[in-house]
Structure 1
Amino acid sequence: MIISEIKYSQMNKRLRFDAEHYQPLFLKTEEILKKVKSVPLREIASFSKLRKNPEQEPEKEFKYIDISNVNIFTGEIKVQILKGYEAPTRARKVVRKDDIILSTVRPNRNAVAIIPEELDNEMCSTGFAVIKAKKVLPHYLFAFLKTKYAINQLIRFTMASMYPAVSEEDIGDVLVYVPPPSFQEKIRDLILKAKGKESLAEQKYKEAKLLLNNYLGIKSYNFKWEKIYVIPYSEIIDHKRCDSIFHNPFFNEIEYLTYQGAKKGLYQLLPLSKIGVLSKGIEVGSDEYVDKGILFLRVSNITETEIVITDSAEYIRPSLFEQLKDKYQPSPDEVLFTKDATIGIAFVVQDDFNEFIVSGGIVRIKSEKVNPYYLAIALNSIICRSQAERYSIGAVIKHLSFSNLKNILIPVIEEKKQEEVAKLVEESLRLKKEAKETLKGAIQQIENLIHRE
């Protein structure tokens, strides 16, 4: 049993009578921050009130940041590009360069990010508090809000148990340690260094895709999705598919060029089942989800270049992980491939992060004939992804059957060229990893300084 003794005067300000609010960890955090040079966030920053309704310009494109678009480990933002008429009702807050956005929902997940120049004057969800640093450097404030000292306070201020959230007033009460300007500048430089590595990682991955497309002979092609087309009835009979998407000329053009490339000797076409061993994931059921535990990897967590842990990530108990890991935990260098919902995304499991269980919407592929990094980027190419999309079924939630997945044709280029492409992919992933480590180091330096003070 955990017991905390407090004075009545400590309860008076917030009128909080729930025991969780006075956990020893929270009281200790408050005590430490009051001993060092800390001030309430509202004294060094303000909350932006800029708002706009994108629906007023229905055809104009804008970039939108939802809570699920923020990587809770790195603060990296993956925006949605929408038109005004597609805007969610929560797309109302305007962000400016160097603003800090902090999710007011589930603050324990710590979805916080700093707005880069390319997202200046774009939109974010009303589920974010938009913070403008005034008396501290914005990059320092971003890093501080990712420390355990900030997270503990945000969790403490949380209201409700089913849908925990904090208000801007609560966030304004968060005590922020304000170090000397020289230390803030040091942290800023580390954050900018991390962001630079992230940008370089994206550039290397783009280079890998361009090089692959060049080797596949499709670098100069611009494939177009047709809205209106006519097909012979015999094609419906032959393929046993009467849905219009399956017969779109877009797929036929890619298929034709794929076989032409093989005829020209640019590559050999092999079904995925001939390249590696495929293993299915598992569905544990939502009743098994917990707030903290071992990551249960779902389709929404996978991108081409990383595993993304966002506010919507789910976790399972360590004891359940132990029961499932022998059969459902991936090994380093296995390729993960999404076959449900968002279909056709492949990613190589890294040797420093594979403690998770994969869901039923993900297939593990142990490559036996090609470099796994090459296999992943080949699966992400338009040649393979178009096959996955074409043979999937389902109007609301798409599904690619295991048998159709095994028959996806992989363009296998010569080994030397595979290594060239794979090297760029590996370099991209290495830079991503270094960016995360640099950010983690900046956060650790802040925590260490507070501890020493």
Structure 2
Amino acid sequence: MQLSALESLSTRLDAEHYRPIFIETENALKQNEWDYLENLTKSIMSFGAYALNNQIEYRESGIPFLRATDIKEGYIDFSNALRIDSAANELLWKSEIKPETVLLTMSGTVGNSSVTQEGMNYPINSSQDVAKIITTSQLNPYYLSVFLQSHYGRIQTSRLPIGSVQQHIFLWQINKLVIPLLGKAFQSSTEHTYREALSLLKQADVAYEEAQTLLLSELGLADWQPKPQTESVRDFSDVWSAGRMDAEYYQPKYDDIVNAIKGYPGGWHALGNLVTMRKCVEVGSKEYLDEGIPFVRVSNITPFEITEEKYISAELYSQVAQHQPNQGEILLSKDATPGIAHYIDEQPRRMIPSGGILRLKRKSDKVNDEYLTLALNSMPTLEQVNRDVGGSVILHWRPDQVAGTLIPILPQAKQAEIQRKVMESATLRRQSRALLERAKRAVEIAIEDGEAAAMEWMSEYQQTHL
């Protein structure tokens, strides 16, 4: 590439920034009407006052404080969001999120995007790793988010990250994203499809929450709140057998959970009696590729999906293929964010989970897979995880602790009821994902072949998939 062809506003002179696919994508977007994102927005902001973090105390409940890890592809996952109180929210007033704001991750998994909707529980706040984009009337926020998730949006954001270990993008880079200005009718059609996808996702959340409530009600923990006790008296024999001297381990709230499970009339089992466990593998960051076979890390799994971020070669995959997950297994995180369980209910694509993930396979008929996975993701298990890893700087849930986790054995009829709810939730999520993929593909077709071709494809798609 000639020096004259380099971008006048770019500080990047590395060859990676000027790979052919990046140049081709930008040229394709500029074939039709377009503009830079900065000219189509009222504001693009992030919370950049790092020093204020020292004044924030996170709470067990309160106002959601979203990080990049909470922004998924097309939706916001509030389940693991940090919480702050109203005083912290007022302190961080510049980073408070308003309805119909486009969120874009700037760190970690760069480029994930979603939109905040009117019906969410506000206030909501966010960290410095999330860009908040408020558009003008010329740019529909739902269309913008779908475009950012599309092939053309992803190619642009994948070009931007700076840093070899923890990659990051900056607001001045986001300002220069090339946005195709498709017609308002097409943008509105994209919004309609996206909203429909989010509505299905909300229904999926409701079904899953109902399943969780069934479990908690059965254990008498539906309305449980930890009591504010500051001391707990223990025998030395208890301390010796537990191998823990720290006060964190002996909080009374953990006794409440253990007693509820052990006192359940249907009985209980340690997880190790219900499943076999297999450790996965680390390949080393030097083996990471931009494309290939997914290498699944803890940050890539949720109870509902497995995302892709890092990849390995087919050659390396063949060397570690014994770690390929199979249908009917549960992936369970034990490091970093321990206690996330994902049930593989379909034949999975080729992938290799990292060493921070365990593969569980049910070996007992006392539980079904969907119920067991939900129980692992439930509050009683989470509190057991918190007890086991408490006091550690680097969170690590030892395999022996995982095996000792208490699982209540509900009656088969109640497990079946929970199973139906979980399966209903999974079906709704697949439908939601299909709608979002349809919206993304329509945007891509509009860019490549025009809006008329995209609308025709949408019409044919609806006829063949009804």
Distance apart, 1:251 and its partner CA:
2.4
Query: Out of 17, 23, 34, which is 2:19 matched to?
Result: 23
Amino acid at match of 1:101: L
Q: Unpaired segments of 5 or more residues in structure 1?
A: none
Kindly indicate whether the alpha-carbon contact (under 8 Å) linking 2:69 and 2:108 is maintained by their aligned counterparts in 1: no
Distance apart, 1:139 and its partner CA:
0.7
Aligned partners of 1:377 and 1:365: how far apart in 2? 14
Query: Out of 192, 197, 202, which is 1:199 matched to?
Result: 202
Q: Is 1:276–2:279 an aligned residue pair?
A: no
Query: Out of 153, 162, 175, which is 1:172 matched to?
Result: 175
Deviations 1:62-111 (A, max 9, x none): 4322222211x334343321348989x9995333211223234578x422
Distance apart, 1:189 and its partner CA:
0.5
Kindly indicate whether the alpha-carbon contact (under 8 Å) linking 1:40 and 1:174 is maintained by their aligned counterparts in 2: yes
Deviations 1:221-244 (A, max 9, x none): 444363322233343345443222
Aligned partners of 2:263 and 2:440: how far apart in 1? 53
Match of 2:102? 100
SS in 2 for 1:95: coil
- Comparing 55-64 with 283-292, greater Cα deviation is found at 55-64
Match of 1:74? 74
Q: Is 1:236–2:235 an aligned residue pair?
A: no
Distance apart, 1:426 and its partner CA:
1.5
Q: After the TM superposition, which residues 173-322 of structure 1 pair with which residues of structure 2 at under 5 Å, given as runs?
A: 173-224=176-227, 226-262=229-265, 267-307=266-306, 313-322=309-318
Residues 440 and 223 (structure 1), Cα distance of their counterparts in 2 relative to 1, 3 Å cut: same
Match of 2:449? 452
Instruction: Let me know the Cα RMSD of the aligned residues.
Output: 3.4
Q: Is 1:34–2:30 an aligned residue pair?
A: yes
Q: After the TM superposition, which residues 114-133 of structure 1 pair with which residues of structure 2 at under 5 Å, given as runs?
A: 114-117=115-118, 118=120, 122-133=124-135
Amino acid at match of 1:438: L
How many aligned positions are there?
438
Amino acid at match of 1:412: I
Distance apart, 1:161 and its partner CA:
5.9
Aligned partners of 1:9 and 1:387: how far apart in 2? 58
Residues 237 and 21 (structure 1), Cα distance of their counterparts in 2 relative to 1, 3 Å cut: closer
Match of 2:351? 356
Aligned partners of 1:372 and 1:276: how far apart in 2? 10
Distance apart, 1:177 and its partner CA:
1.5
- Comparing 210-219 with 189-198, greater Cα deviation is found at 210-219
Distance apart, 1:393 and its partner CA:
6.9
Distance apart, 1:349 and its partner CA:
1.7
- Comparing 385-394 with 281-290, greater Cα deviation is found at 385-394
Kindly indicate whether the alpha-carbon contact (under 8 Å) linking 1:236 and 1:242 is maintained by their aligned counterparts in 2: yes
Distance apart, 1:384 and its partner CA:
3.9
- Comparing 78-87 with 184-193, greater Cα deviation is found at 78-87
Amino acid at match of 2:370: Y
Match of 1:424? 421
Q: Is 1:334–2:335 an aligned residue pair?
A: no
Amino acid at match of 2:372: L
Aligned partners of 2:441 and 2:200: how far apart in 1? 19
Distance apart, 1:19 and its partner CA:
4.1
Deviations 1:156-186 (A, max 9, x none): 4556666655543443333222222221111
Match of 2:398? 401
Residues 371 and 77 (structure 1), Cα distance of their counterparts in 2 relative to 1, 3 Å cut: closer
Residues 412 and 17 (structure 1), Cα distance of their counterparts in 2 relative to 1, 3 Å cut: closer
Match of 1:443? 440
Q: Unpaired segments of 5 or more residues in structure 2?
A: 451-466
Distance apart, 1:355 and its partner CA:
3.1
Residues 398 and 259 (structure 1), Cα distance of their counterparts in 2 relative to 1, 3 Å cut: same
Residues 324 and 209 (structure 1), Cα distance of their counterparts in 2 relative to 1, 3 Å cut: same
Aligned partners of 1:242 and 1:15: how far apart in 2? 53
Distance apart, 1:126 and its partner CA:
3.0
Residues 62 and 177 (structure 1), Cα distance of their counterparts in 2 relative to 1, 3 Å cut: same
Q: What TM-score, normalized to structure 2? A: 0.81
Kindly indicate whether the alpha-carbon contact (under 8 Å) linking 2:140 and 2:187 is maintained by their aligned counterparts in 1: yes
Aligned partners of 2:56 and 2:269: how far apart in 1? 48
Residues 115 and 248 (structure 1), Cα distance of their counterparts in 2 relative to 1, 3 Å cut: same
Amino acid at match of 1:114: V
Residues 387 and 169 (structure 1), Cα distance of their counterparts in 2 relative to 1, 3 Å cut: closer
Aligned partners of 2:172 and 2:53: how far apart in 1? 27
Query: Out of 133, 138, 141, which is 2:144 matched to?
Result: 141
Query: Out of 325, 334, 344, which is 2:339 matched to?
Result: 344
SS in 1 for 2:360: strand
Aligned partners of 1:338 and 1:98: how far apart in 2? 33
Distance apart, 1:336 and its partner CA:
1.9
Deviations 1:105-135 (A, max 9, x none): 578x422222233365533333443322111
Deviations 1:204-256 (A, max 9, x none): 11100111223334435444363322233343345443222332222223333
Residues 225 and 209 (structure 1), Cα distance of their counterparts in 2 relative to 1, 3 Å cut: farther
Kindly indicate whether the alpha-carbon contact (under 8 Å) linking 1:54 and 1:92 is maintained by their aligned counterparts in 2: no
Aligned partners of 2:249 and 2:165: how far apart in 1? 42
Residues 391 and 452 (structure 1), Cα distance of their counterparts in 2 relative to 1, 3 Å cut: closer
Distance apart, 1:319 and its partner CA:
2.5
SS in 2 for 1:76: coil
